[in-house]
Every structure is written in structure tokens, then in C-alpha cells.
Amino acid sequence: MTDESLDNPVALVCESCGMPLNKNISSALDNRYCIHCQNQQTGELKNFEQVRASSIQATITLLGKTPQEAEMMADQMMPTLPRWQNKTRNI
């Protein structure tokens, strides 16, 4: 394991949901993703709608935003993440 890289001050974010990664939530199977996006047993990744829904929920809960604000933030943020950039290019 490369614990040093996870302690690096450069802000890493999950390439799927944009959540800041630290060694507590970084996926053990793929360090581009967090444990919320990747199932730690199967390695399965949540799909776009699932990630979007949990991102909206987290924004409401953690940042106290309204559902409308949270949806807008998710729709602005998610297309900037590497995982979904590739996806939209390939469609």
C-alpha cells in the first residue's frame, strides 16, 4: 500500500463523486474512487444516477443546502469529474 500518497497535501477527490479523498474513505481497490462509489467486496462502481443521488443527499445533509440547490451543484460538479467526462465523450 502507498500510504504516503494518501497523506500528500495535494487535494485528491474521488473521480466519481468529487468527495475529497483521505485514507479513511479512499477505496482499497482503486484509489481513484471512494468507498461510497466502489463496493469494497465486489469492486462494483455505482452508476451515474446512484452517484448523483448520493451526492445530492450528502450536499443536503452536510452543507445544509435545499434539494434544488443540491441538484444544481451536483449537475455542475459531476461533468467535471474524470469518470463522467470519459462517459459523455464515449456516448
- 14 or 74: whose CB is closer to Zn ion? 14
8 A C-beta contact, residue 55 and residue 63: no
User: Do 25 and 19 touch, CB atoms closer than 8 A?
Assistant: yes
CB 14 within 8 A of CB 32: yes
- Residue closer to Zn ion by CB (options 54, 71) is 54
CB of 8 to Zn ion, least distance (A): 18
Closest approach of Zn ion to the CB of residue 3, in Å: 19
Q: Is 38 helix (H, G, I), strand (E, B) or coil?
A: strand
Give the footprint of Zn ion on this chain (CB under 5 A).
14, 16-17, 34, 37
Q: Could you tell me the smallest distance in angstroms from the CB atom of residue 78 to Zn ion?
A: 11
